Structure 1
Amino acid sequence: MFVMAVFITACKQDYSLDKIIGKRNAITDSLKTNAKIEAYIKPYRESVNKDLDSVIAFAADTYSKNDGELNTAIGNFMADAVFEMCNPVFEKRTKQTIDMVLLNHGGIRSIISKGDITSRTAYEVMPFDNSVVVTPMKGQQIKDMLSFLASKKRAHPISKLKLTLSQDYSIKEALINGSEIDYEKIYHVATNDYLYNGGSRMHFLKSKDTVYDLDYKIRNLLIDYFKKIDTLQPSIDDRFTHQKD
């Protein structure tokens, strides 16, 4: 907590700042709780905690963003969940479909532990207020995206994109929706607003064409996805791989 005192000198109606004195008061456990305020917010806190801790699904195993080289079970789940929950929304609004999903490895902020999944789990995995946007990407943007993924050698979550790297990390194969990429076509790529605006150096996502903001927070769609399923059991697969020989 920062306390500031301001001294103002006056001459008739003209005022000027004379000096500023600041003092920092640390917020620690030594500060006394206001009993009236605590009593007022207690029922709200209990209601929120009850909602957050209600079981909505079950995790078959513990999933971490460090459990794979170029794709992870938790990353695959998140990208697939974005596609599954957002594609119907996008299709209803635009009569078009999402071609692929790209998220960022660093955006996964927690493991999912084996056992009960609650709404709090979604808040732990995705504590940010990032929303899904769909950006139209042309040929050069797609090439830049593939080069970025190949050069970073990191398990950025993807869905509907299959990328195979050769031993020297050059691109051996790249498919979208199981088909060879047509660089004359416009692909609609779902991502989040942070990445679209250049986060994690993904500047290639920015489009001069219309970007579609689905107004759907990733955290909320994860909760909706958890409620839709019974058991979470994603796996590491061949969507993004490196051939070592």
Structure 2
Amino acid sequence: MAEHQAEHQEQTRAAYDGVVELYASMFSDRLETRPFARAIIGTFAELVRGNGNLRTADVGCGPGHLTAMLHDLGLDAFGIDLSPGMVAHARRAHPALEFDEARMEALPVEDGALGGVLAHYSMIHTPPGELPALLAEQVRVLAPGGLLLVSFFGTDGTGGTDGSDGTAGSEPVRFDHKVTPAYCWPVDRFAELLTDAGLVPFARLVHDPASERGFLDAHLLARRD
């Protein structure tokens, strides 16, 4: 298990290191063309501000564009990414903000320290069997009442159970992401994982895709008890 985890993480790190400048240029608009995602991130930031603990981690931050957005929305935001190339770019692009190289499964954060965690399409490369441990780590660093916003490629849970008809049923389906292999999740199934991890999902936004893949864009908001 640990060996497989290390292998896929090394592949993911290498893949993103190889596309840093291209990836950064593609997402430099900071969601200006994606109103639904922009709205749910704004809602997340407002709720974190309302709780009073502004310290927020952007896990899988990539080039740091959303870390900067969270900062602009009034949060004490910092970014974490597996890719040293992405971290270096983020530091150059946003020198006033904090960025560190780390794995989402082993965050350099004390227990219960954060008011919020943003995971914007950063859990999509995690194999399904490893996702519960990753979610448990996000719960560990959240203070009671802290919020997690996770975004991912989703389905409504209909279609073939094995994905053989091109759709996903009740289980996640692996697909060829442009950077490195990823997984599409039925929204209800992902929400169950959040519950199993000790979170309380309380809001979701699911909408038609912004890309040619055809998956839904899914966003789940959850609170730590």
TM over 0.5: no
Instruction: Tell me the TM-score range normalised by the shorter chain.
Output: under 0.3
Where relative contact order (Cα < 8 A, 6+ residues apart) is larger, the structure is 1
TM-score by length of 2: 0.25
TM-score by length of 1: 0.24
